[in-house]
Structure 1
Amino acid sequence: MSDLGYDVTGDGTRPEIQLGESSWVWQRYGMSIDGKQYARGVTVHGDSSVTIALNRQCTAYDALAGVDDMTLGLGKVSFSVYADGVRLWHSGTVRGNDPAVPVHVNLTGRRTVRLVVQPHGGLLDRAALADWAESRFTCR
């Protein structure tokens, strides 16, 4: 996901972030969850939704989901992956300093993916930085 373009500048031939249907997204190279470094991914706030139009046949979405170490161990969130409006994966509660949770979702026959992070408490959880590390789509 760190390499995905946005639909306003894309050509519709590969997965693209739908800007008008998405929260703030920080496409990153280098992030840390529970002290472990990851080469790439995206960071969002603890209350976010990012929609991706697949624009081709894709078979899977994989990532490692967790609270970014820049949050200093604070924050409790949950991660969900939806495809065509149906929730296909949910993490349960993930706290700051928890290890990253592996994500694998079958996308065969799907057209859109929505990555959702929800806070579990107050302002700190909403402000937490949540990572979809090593986030990638497998497409033809």
Structure 2
Amino acid sequence: MVGAHAASDITYHLGGNCRSVSAEVGVDDESTAGGSAVFRIYRDAALVADRGVGTASDPPVRLTADLTGGRKLRLVVTDAGDGIDHDHADGAAPELVCT
């Protein structure tokens, strides 16, 4: 599991050897006081998956992205335009497929 607080930008070096990534993403259940966040996955500079706005009352969503040929994987969490209070984001059950 990966947990982060908005705003965050986590980068992994792939070296062009991975095909895909997926994870269940959502705002942590403990963020009951109005937490909201936007979840995005980038392959190098290209946006390849966007969950959009999620709140603590929304169920997690499986986010999957094509990483073929990518040198870097970026996991980005931002606030939803309403400030960063209670914006605790989780990525659970991650799967990275590489050769």
TM-score, normalised relative to structure 1: 0.65
Please state how far the C-alpha of 1:49 moved relative to its aligned partner.
0.5
2:88 to 129, 133, 138: 129
Unpaired runs of 5+ in structure 2?
Answer: none
1:55 offset after TM fit, Å? 3.4
1:138 counterpart letter in structure 2: V
Task: Work out the CA distance in 1 between the residues paired with 2:29 and 2:10.
Answer: 21
Assess if the C-alpha contact under 8 Å between 1:64 and 1:133 holds in 2.
yes
Displaced runs of 4+ in structure 1, greater than 6 A? none
Question: C-alpha displacement at 1:91, in angstroms?
Answer: 1.0
Shift of 1:70: 2.1
What is the percentage of aligned positions where both structures have the same residue? 33
Distance 1:45 1:97 in 2: 17
Greater Cα offset, 68-77 or 85-94: 68-77
Q: 1 CA distance for matches of 2:94 and 2:35?
A: 21
1:91 aligns with 2:51: yes
Rounded to whole Å, the distance in 1 between the matches of 2:2 and 2:12 is 13
Higher relative contact order (CA 8 A, sep 6+): 2
Listed as ranges, the matches of 1:1-140 within 5 Å are: 41-55=1-15, 57-72=17-32, 74-120=34-80, 121-124=82-85, 127-140=86-99
Matched AA of 1:54: L
What is the total number of aligned residue pairs between the two structures? 98
SS in 2 for 1:103: strand
Q: Which has the higher strand share?
A: 2
> CA shift at 1:109, angstroms?
0.9
Q: CA RMSD in A?
A: 1.4
Higher Rg of the two aligned structures: 1
Mind listing any 5+ residue stretches in structure 1 that lack a counterpart?
1-40
Contact 1:80/1:117 (CA < 8 Å) preserved in 2? yes
Residue 97 of structure 1, CA deviation = 1.8
- For 2:79, give the aligned amino acid: P
